[in-house]
Structure 1
Amino acid sequence: MKRKPLGWPDYMEAKPSKGGARYYWNAPSWARKRGCPIKSEALGTEYGAAKARCDTFLNPLFDSWRTGGASDAIVQKRAAVGSFDWVIATYKATGKYTKRPARTRASYDRALASVADYRLTDGRRFGSLSVKSVTPSVVERLYEKLKVDSSGKPRHRSALLSVSVCKLAWSAANRAHETVVASANPFVGLEIEYDPKKNRAATQQQLQIFVAAADADGSGSLGTAAMIAYYWLPREEDIFQRFAWTDYRPAEFPNHVLVWHHKNRKSKKVPVPLFDGEDGASLWPEMVARLDAVAKTGTLVVMRDSPDPRKKIHLPWTTGGQNPMRYVQGEVRRICRAAGLPDTITFTSFRHGGHTDGADAGLTDAQMRALGGHKTTAALLRYAKETDKQQQVGARKRLEARTKKGNLSE
């Protein structure tokens, strides 16, 4: 990168890759020679998230080491021990924070800053308060302030995130310093006034309409991506950024597809059989036919449909920009509208639709977890929407059970 934009963080570097620029933080050579304990870190492909990580954690941590000591946790000395700022610093030094994706860390940073930088009536920052002063009643009053912006408009979702992340920070600080931070978490038990909007689950008919519209538009790759989300249930990041041709019928599993579930499985892929083990019937005939017919234009299965005018090659959909998935979502919205699908249908709807289709088919929780890569049954409740068909199947099973017992249902 020849010219760095204004505000470029110290010690952050950009390196070109097939998927666009990737960002890294590296301590200067003189610091490494002196035994700087702060390790180099890959920051991902999103400039905004990489900058936030450098500005709010890595560079302050490096400056603390450079000016005052040689400890990884020296950043905590920048805040008074026992203050809420110190609680936040303690949390950010733990794996509970550092191991989260860059985009998540950036979101958490904003949420924590909205609390720490909140000005009390006497002018003090909330972050300067002693943990002994952060009581449930204080948190309740803070939440009442956070859930309304400066213009008076409600901001329930961001207030909820702020409180939720503060809850994590408090728990992490308690585990690290139980003699300073009380085990009674003041951010727990708060009455929240936010009812999140549920993603609409797309039906199989809506999936077919979208795929046909995407093919007619010349954006067949987005139709393929929607089918992958519906049938195999990976998240959109896994489809557009990770699912490669080497995952489809690989040499070690020629009759399987390796489905990414990065968030739940920590980079592990789940082998999903493509054919029945007894009669050899295709279990996913729509997907197998689709992928066998797709041209391999790159390493990833889902690539842009037209070559880049300048590079003359097909690029991933997530190439470039601070939020590359936003471009994908915009294209999906455009195709949905052209196809006459409701505005409530988003790309996420196809994954939710696949879960709901599985529930309608009468799959058990264990079978749903195996196909969707979920660790717990509770996670299924966010995806498999309740439908009349599920109630009908349940009622039919109860009817059959009563009839077998000689009841008067017939």
Structure 2
Amino acid sequence: MKHRIRTVQPLPSYTRRKPLAGGKWGYYFEPPGWAVVPPAGDDRGPCPVGAEALGTDYDAAVQRVERVLLPLFHNWRTRGDIDLAPAAVTEGTLDWLFAAYRQSDKFGALDRKTKALHERGFALVGNYALKDGRRLGTVRLTQIDTTVVDPLYAKLLVTGGKRAGGPRRAGEEPLPGAAEHRERRTTINHAMKSCRRAWNVVRRKRSDLVPATNPFAKMELREVRRPTPTASYEDLQAAVAQADATGLPSLATALMVTWEWLQREEHIFTAFRLDHYRPKDHPDEVLIVHPKTGEEVWVPLFDEAGASLFPELMMRMDALKRDRIGQGPFFVRDWCDRSRRTPLPWATPKGGLDLVRKKSKAVLLGAELADDLSFTSFRHGGLTELGDADLTDTQIRALSRQTKAVLPRYVKKTQRQIIAGTRKRRALRPVAAEHDQEPGQLSFDQLMGGK
């Protein structure tokens, strides 16, 4: 009997070894379960890195985990706080293209969340291992065409590979994600779009190094859209009451802001400042900024007769701003930091919103609302309420600053909208006499063949 040589060689995080047939050891990368199936409402979505069989070569396994899998995992975990760019790049390579795009004004103008999405896409594509062991990122742009990109897309699309060492033996536990192939179409579609965008932007400045034909363009990507669960006004009332009851009035107010003024979660906690609400030069208005679209809108707080348009929300906002001056974040935590003895902003210095999402989820669960609701659900609920109120697209766009093209994505189609639309259509038709039938209408007896 051949004895297996035991090893005490260190392994990276989320990596383990297993005995295989023939006295060898197999190495496996296994991300934690909370990353593979994130909690409901986590806007990061499933981790782009799944369980992976790494083979029997210790050095190769460790190198792949440390250089590719762990950086991708931690970038996803921190929403882009960890840089995935290689330390040095060769001009004219794919890595260089990504680096040049990062230095462009176009990339700099993006919000933090979109930048992180691009970075994950660059990492997935650039770190792809070729048969000769090289990273795709080290390949020159002149060597990358559709014959490279199309097969790459197909290979990246499905995560979870074959088990190293042959089929699983009877009684052996399967690796999470390794036995089942999981499609990650949304993640890989975003990666292809990120590469396409980088190619187009850098090509305009460096046409001498970037080929005119963009291999990431016109890929006919099939989109899979999962609608965001939408909260109702009753859900909002329940969530606000629960947040107040648990000592989180600022979070309750933020939920009302996203419903009434349609501002995104990240912008409420990172871009909404004290001087945006009823400043001296606009005492009857609030400035709602949308960094994602670059739009700003002054929302009136009173109508022509002087009546408050948002009485419940304004009462809260006035109370939160009382005795505070400056241009700092409007929304701060509802407790004092032990060391600073003052409330800190909800968002971290880098814009992280993990605490907001954790507290929001606890509030929603405490209110016994649907498990799939999140903070974002209340903004979508506010947008849908606009449609239910029979507002025109122009009126909705004036409030939300959404473009006409993306508006249907946010304003959910409901029975009330369908009924209102049908009534408006019928109102345009000529009014027939009560005893007359509509043109072409048959009686019940005629439809039944005279029976």
Q: Is the 8 A contact 2:337 2:344 kept in 1?
A: yes
Taking a change above 3 Å as real, the CA distance of residues 187 and 252 of structure 1, as seen in their structure-2 partners, is same
Q: 1:385 aligns with which of 412, 421, 425?
A: 412
Name the residue aligned to 1:176.
Answer: 205
Question: What SS does the aligned partner of 2:429 have?
Answer: helix
Q: CA separation of 1:51/1:135 partners in 2, compared to 1, >3 Å: closer, same or farther?
A: closer
Q: Which letter does structure 1 place at the counterpart of 2:149?
A: V
Amino acid corresponding to residue 329 of structure 1 in structure 2: R
> What is the distance in 2 between the residues matched to 1:387 and 1:297?
43
Is 1:216 aligned with 2:253? no
CA RMSD in angstroms comes to 2.9
2:400 to 351, 356, 372: 372
Q: 1:137 to 1:98 in 2, by over 3 A?
A: same
* Deviation for aligned residue 1:347: 0.2
SS of equivalent to 1:90: helix
Alignment of 1:307-386 (within 5 A): 307-319=336-348, 324-374=352-402, 376-386=403-413
Tell me the secondary structure at the aligned position of residue 56 of structure 1: coil
**Partner SS for 2:297:** strand
Moved more, 115-124 or 385-394: 115-124
Whole-Å Cα distance in 1 between the matches of residues 119 and 269 of structure 2?
Answer: 26
Is the alpha carbon distance of 1:292 and 1:101 closer, same or farther for their aligned partners in structure 2, counting shifts above 3 Å? closer
- The reply to whether residue 291 of structure 1 matches residue 317 of structure 2 is yes
Letter aligned with residue 79 of structure 1? T
Q: Secondary structure at the match of 2:368?
A: coil
CA contact (8 A) 1:297 1:314 kept: no
Match for residue 331 of structure 2?
302
Give, in whole Å, the separation in 2 of the partners of 1:130 and 1:310.
52
Cα separation, 1, equivalents of 2:285 and 2:351: 32
Whole-angstrom distance in 2 between the partners of 1:341 and 1:371: 27
- Work out the CA distance in 2 between the residues paired with 1:324 and 1:113: 21
- For 1:380, give the aligned amino acid: L
Structure 2 equivalent of residue 138 of structure 1: 148
Is structure 2 residue 122 aligned with structure 1 residue 97? Answer: no
Could you say which residue in structure 2 is the equivalent of 1:203? Answer: 232
In the alignment, structure 1 segments of 5+ residues that lack a partner are 1-45, 61-77
CA contact (8 A) 2:186 2:223 kept: yes
Correspondence for 2:429 among 392, 402, 408: 402
Q: Structure 2: how far apart are the matches of 1:383 and 1:394? A: 18
Q: Deviations over 1:27-47 (max 9, x none)?
A: xxxxxxxxxxxxxxxxxxx98
Q: Residue 189 of structure 1: CA displacement?
A: 2.8
Structure 1 residues 251 and 391, CA gap change in structure 2 (3 angstroms)? same
How many residue pairs match? The answer is: 339
Cα distance in 2, alignment partners of residues 247 and 80 from structure 1: 44
Could you tell which deviates more after superposition, 241-250 or 331-340?
241-250
Normalised by the length of structure 2, the TM-score is 0.68
Deviation at 1:149, TM superposition (A): 2.5
SS at match of 1:271: strand
Pair 1:205–1:403, CA change in 2 (3 A): farther
**Amino acid across the alignment from 2:418:** Q
Is the CA contact 1:50–1:102 (under 8 Å) kept in the aligned structure 2?
A: no
How far residue 191 of structure 1 moved from its aligned partner, in angstroms, is 4.1
The answer on whether the counterparts of 1:91 and 1:97 sit within 8 Å (CA) in structure 2 is yes
Distance 1:255 1:190, change over 3 A: same
Give the unaligned 5+ runs of structure 2.
1-76, 161-177, 442-451
Correspondences of 1:35-54 after superposition (within 5 Å): 49=80, 51-52=82-83
Distance 1:316 1:80, change over 3 A: closer
Offset, 1:288: 2.0
**SS across alignment from 2:299:** strand
Kindly state the Cα deviation for residue 332 of structure 1 after the two structures are TM-superposed. Answer: 0.8
Partner secondary structure for residue 438 of structure 2: coil
- Partner secondary structure for residue 260 of structure 1: strand
- In structure 1, what is the equivalent of residue 90 of structure 2? 79
